[in-house]
Structure 1
Amino acid sequence: MLEINLVNNTHSEEIINLVLNIQQKEFNVPITIEDQPDLMQIEDFYFANGGSFWGAFINGELVGTIALVKFDEKAAAVRKMFVKKEFRGKEHSIAQKLLEILLAYCQKNEIDKVYLGTVSILQAALRFYERNHFKIIEKELLPEKFPLMSADNVFCFLDLKS
């Protein structure tokens, strides 16, 4: 049975294993744990500024993650949206459920501009975001305070007010 819960530093190791496996082994994205120090300081990086971090668990196993970095009073970035390969797709709808929890959190906390960066190789992820009303935008249109990740080369925006 699927459970989605808040996760914190006590889950860092599981989260790092999940994320790095997908980034490096599955998609060959040239990124290391050193490029993502946020994963070792979840509470300081995500929660301290009004963001959040959720994990999807099936029978106690972490199978998906999503995080929100609040970088402005009404703006935030989606980060660390990953679902283990064997749990992707409509059958489980884990990515959809994770995104819905994040967007509900945004609405409850008066965050109405949601941005994200991703990698062009992740075509299924891009289609998923587009199905959820995110629009692809040019990097130049990102807010100044947007927390850029070096590997990202495609950027999306969702206006929750419209």
Structure 2
Amino acid sequence: MKTYYKNYLIRDWQPSDRLLAAKVIETVLQEYGLPWQPEEADQDVIEIEQFYLQVGGEFWIIENQGKIVGTAAYYPIHKQDHAVEIRKMYLLPDVRGKGLGRFLLEQLETVIQQKGFKTIIIETASVLEEAVILYEKSGYEPITEVETKRCDRAYIKKLT
């Protein structure tokens, strides 16, 4: 993956991004009062090769002027046939409100559909209000199955 949205470069993760990408996610979680859990919910950020790349998922880095300002990812799951979970879609505060989140979600959906997946699951926390609004406006329907401890909402979208 390599694409642009305005001044933002969206590209595939590289091993040299590991610590900086993790710091972006940790920063956003702390902003909303959510815990950074590198041994639990965030272990996938530390072990991207195992959790994403080796299983047919992707992990993207969003850069602005050479600085990592966001992340977005997905990996296949076995809750349903041909399903993925979108994960780790985080943007630093100064790049929010510019349409980048919507663009990222649309790019993820396009790539996921091109790879033959039929269903997307997303888990989030109610305090991430911008994310909740984005998912609901983008056609995601609430479901009750939430597996991540710090999350209290889950959504599903069937791709056509």
TM-score normalised to the size of structure 2? 0.88
1:145 aligned residue: none
| 1:32 maps to 2:16 | no
How many Å apart are 1:123 and its aligned residue?
1.6
Identity of aligned residues (%): 25
How many Å apart are 1:102 and its aligned residue?
0.9
Structure 2 residue identity aligned to 1:82 = Y
SS of residue paired to 1:32: coil
2:118 aligned residue: 112
* Inter-partner Cα distance in structure 2 for 1:50 and 1:15: 20
| 1:150 maps to 2:149 | yes
Structure 1 residue identity aligned to 2:95 = F
How many Å apart are 1:44 and its aligned residue?
1.4
How many Å apart are 1:78 and its aligned residue?
0.7
Q: Which runs of 5 or more structure 2 residues have no equivalent in the other structure? A: 1-6
Q: Which runs of 5 or more structure 1 residues have no equivalent in the other structure? A: 143-147
Structure 2 residue identity aligned to 1:94 = L
* Inter-partner Cα distance in structure 1 for 2:53 and 2:114: 15
Task: Find runs of 4+ consecutive structure 1 residues off by over 2 angstroms.
Answer: 30-35
The 5 Å alignment of 1:95-106 reads 95-106=101-112
How many Å apart are 1:34 and its aligned residue?
2.4
RMSD: 1.4
Superimposed CA distance per residue, residues 72-94 of structure 1 (whole angstroms, 9 cap, x where no aligned partner) = 351000100101101001xx321
SS of residue paired to 2:55: coil
Structure 1 residue identity aligned to 2:159 = L
Structure 2 residue identity aligned to 1:129 = Y
| 1:84 maps to 2:92 | yes
